Amino acid sequence: MNLSVIIPVFNEVKNIEEIIKRVQATKLAKEIVVVDDGSQDGTRGILKKLDGKKKIRVIMHEKNQGKGAAVVTGINAAKGDVLLIQDADLEYDPRDYPALLQPIEEGLADVVYGSRFLGAAHRVAMFWHQVANQLLTLMTNVLYNSILTDMETGYKVFKREVIEGLNIRSKSFNFEPEFTAKILKRNYRIFEVPITFNPRDYSDGKKIKLKDAFEAVWALIRYRLFD
């Protein structure tokens, strides 16, 4: 199984080298595709030095377009037959890769979500973000007749054929509900596995905002009824 790890990044100068080291330490990635989405804090300088070393490929967006745009760029550039999305902010731990990959390796799943709400270790913080995530997940389950526990998770792993033909249009954090809506409507086999989670707050640079939750609601409705 050839695994491509896609890392969308925007202004993560403090974290980018560490997350790449953690991904490399798993020894599971055949390539690491880092997409810089117009960073202005020195991240780009670090990535230019890393490009081409130790299975790293760096792609630069000249302007900030949003996480979804960076993920789609990474998907289009990746060469692996299994793709894994890894945020750069150290909230998610690459040591969970074996558990995330196992259902695909065993032929049980086409897509695997790493759930923050299935009982694995996590930092106790960000209560209202958890409430928002759970409400969005509930809405997803009602609209799409599913039993997900964490629709908004950043850990999504999938076979290449799953993404082909999906035509993801979201540029922002709406990648999560759009991707979820489209794979649910296509009846792909989805597994969830528990993951560790270390959420950061806004003082640490967290980027998602309340408006993104409202946009996710509209995305879930739109892709259920009109797409």
Which domain CATH number covers 23? Answer: 3.90.550.10
Closest by Cα among 2, 182, 192, 7 to 112: 192
**Contact between residue 170 and residue 64 where contact means Cβ atoms under 8 Å apart:** no
Confidence of residue 210 (pLDDT cuts 50, 70, 90): low
Domain span including residue 65: 3-225
What is the Cα–Cα distance from 4 to 32, expressed in whole angstroms?
6
Strand 156-159, strand 111-115: pairing: antiparallel
Q: What is the pLDDT of residues 30-68, one digit of tens each?
A: 999 999 999 999 999 999 999 999 999 999 999 999 999
Would you tell me the crossing angle of helices 43-50 and 16-26 to the nearest 10 degrees?
Answer: 30
Q: Which helix (H) or strand (E) holds 75?
A: helix 67-77
Report pTM: 0.90
Number of domains in the chain: 1
